[in-house]
Amino acid sequence: MKFNTKTIHGGQKHDPAYGAVMPPIYQTSTYAQTTPGGHKGFEYSRTHNPTREALENAFASIENGKYGLAFGSGLAAIDAVIKLLQPGDEVISTNDIYGGSYRLFTKIFEGFGIKFHFVGMGNAANIENYVTKNTKLIWVETPTNPMMNIIDIKATAAIAKKYNILLAVDNTFATPYLQQPLDLGADIVMHSATKYIGGHSDLVMGALIVKDKDLADRLYFIQNASGAICGPQDSFLALRGIKTLHVRMQRHCENGKAVAEYLAAHPKIEKVYWPGFEDHPNYDIAKSQMSDYGGMISFVTKGNNYDEAIRIVEKLKIFTLAESLGGVESLSGHPASMTHASIPKEEREKTGVVDSLIRLSVGIEDEEDLINDLKQAIG
């Protein structure tokens, strides 16, 4: 099955009870048994639920994995991965990661004796400098948020294999429509399904996908033992989202390209960060590991004026000023005052999050309306 067919049919079967084409929302915590242990494969919904199971099968299918696991949020999924580790273990992570991942690693798991190295991975060879005998996991996010840096998954996987380290890739920004990390050698793919997978800004959810049975069993154990699962209603919504992922992503990419090119040609814009530009520092890697470049774009205005950036995001009408990304509707964000406000100015500026940086999640509206909106807001 090819990707577009998988989004609709991958891992799915019609409901055995009445042949429902979409899996029903099994809004139940428990299941009747005829005799102790006499059940139909479902005992308690923290452990298994038919709607969640249909979704988990879909996750596995679209990422070319064998096993999928759904969680109550992206961070709950990351939390489960780190729980594979023991005190004394070390993790090498991208330095330019989602703020919530950074908070989970440093404020929760460092307290349990796990050591994190946050390193630049623009050149994957740099990772090897931080490998010790205790390194158990490499954590990669590509493209990164909000600077749209690209990390070479294949080269990172080669290092991970050489030292027998697990490689996990946060594939939230790219989605499997653009990039399939398991095929490039990663062991674990993670998603905030809140974003493109759900796609309609109506749920919060996380996912893990793996190929290896032993790794899957360890993660299922953690999922059940820690209990950070998602409910049947959200599972249904995410499954519905997946069925249009390919169509949405195609439009996100088309609109993203149009918006990136419009901004790059605008006399008031200093720089546009988007991996589809040939002058992006890792364009060659983006081109080889992604099938297109997505709808996430960041840009800075000439003069780098904080107040001007605020004025632009306030003036945008179709681009809603909001946290999050990946929905059908276009969103704007001002990292310096929103997602990255808690990071000291000198620190955030080191990674490029300057005062005038604006991040766009380009939706699937009409391209002309999006460009006209930017035109009236930027002036």
Ligand X SMILES: *Cc1c(COP(=O)(O)O)cnc(C)c1O
> What residues act catalytically?
46, 98, 170, 195
Alpha carbon distance 260, 37 (integer Å): 58
Select from 11, 68, 146, 206 the one that contacts ligand X (CB under 6 A).
206
The region of 47-55, 167-175, 291-299, 311-319 touching ligand X under the rule CB under 6 A is: 167-175
The region of 12-20, 70-78, 286-294, 299-307 touching ligand X under the rule CB under 6 A is: 70-78
Q: Per CB under 6 A, does 100 bind ligand X?
A: yes
| Alpha-helical runs (H) found in the chain | 3-9, 50-62, 74-82, 99-103, 153-162, 175-178, 213-226, 232-242, 245-264, 283-289, 306-315, 345-350, 367-378
The region of 5-13, 189-197, 250-258, 302-310 touching ligand X under the rule CB under 6 A is: 189-197
Select from 172, 282, 298, 301 the one that contacts ligand X (CB under 6 A).
172
Q: Per CB under 6 A, does 340 bind ligand X?
A: no
Q: How far is the CB of 166 from ligand X (least distance, A)?
A: 18
Select from 149, 192, 282, 289 the one that contacts ligand X (CB under 6 A).
192
Q: Per CB under 6 A, does 121 bind ligand X?
A: no
Q: How far is the CB of 156 from ligand X (least distance, A)?
A: 17
Residue 324: DSSP 8-state: -
Q: How far is the CB of 244 from ligand X (least distance, A)?
A: 19
How many residues touch ligand X under the rule CB under 6 A: the total is 16
- Between 12 and 156, name the residue whose CB sits nearer to ligand X: 156
Q: Residues 75, 145, 180, CA angle at the centre, nearest 5°?
A: 75
DSSP β-ladder status, 188-192 and 296-301: unpaired
Q: How far is the CB of 24 from ligand X (least distance, A)?
A: 25
Q: How far is the CB of 266 from ligand X (least distance, A)?
A: 26
Residue 144: DSSP 8-state: -
- Between 141 and 234, name the residue whose CB sits nearer to ligand X: 141
| Alpha-helical runs (H) found in 118-212 | 153-162, 175-178
Q: Residue 371 is encoded by which pair of tokens?
A: 């460009």
Q: What are the C-alpha distances in Å from 245 to residues 50, 252, 304, 331?
A: 22, 10, 36, 18
Q: Per CB under 6 A, does 194 bind ligand X?
A: yes
Select from 59, 67, 98, 293 the one that contacts ligand X (CB under 6 A).
98
In the bound complex, which residue of the shown chain has the CB atom lying closest to ligand X?
A: 74
Contacts of 188 by beta carbon, 8 Å cutoff, 6+ apart: 81, 166, 167, 168, 169, 208, 209, 210, 215, 219
Please measure the distance between the N-terminal and C-terminal CA atoms of the chain and give it in whole angstroms: 47
Q: What are the C-alpha distances in Å from 283 to residues 155, 171, 250, 287, 292?
A: 15, 18, 19, 6, 11
Q: Per CB under 6 A, does 99 bind ligand X?
A: no
Alpha carbon distance 198, 374 (integer Å): 26
Alpha carbon distance 9, 20 (integer Å): 14
- Residues 73-92 touching ligand X, rule: CB under 6 A, are 73-75
- Between 140 and 374, name the residue whose CB sits nearer to ligand X: 140
Select from 49, 93, 145, 180 the one that contacts ligand X (CB under 6 A).
145
Select from 136, 195, 257, 359 the one that contacts ligand X (CB under 6 A).
195
Alpha carbon distance 198, 245 (integer Å): 8
Q: Per CB under 6 A, does 101 bind ligand X?
A: yes
Q: How far is the CB of 171 from ligand X (least distance, A)?
A: 9
Q: Residue 340 is encoded by which pair of tokens?
A: 């990255």
Q: How far is the CB of 91 from ligand X (least distance, A)?
A: 15
Q: Applying CB under 6 A, which residues contact ligand X?
A: 73-75, 98, 100-101, 141, 145, 170, 172-173, 192, 194-195, 204, 206
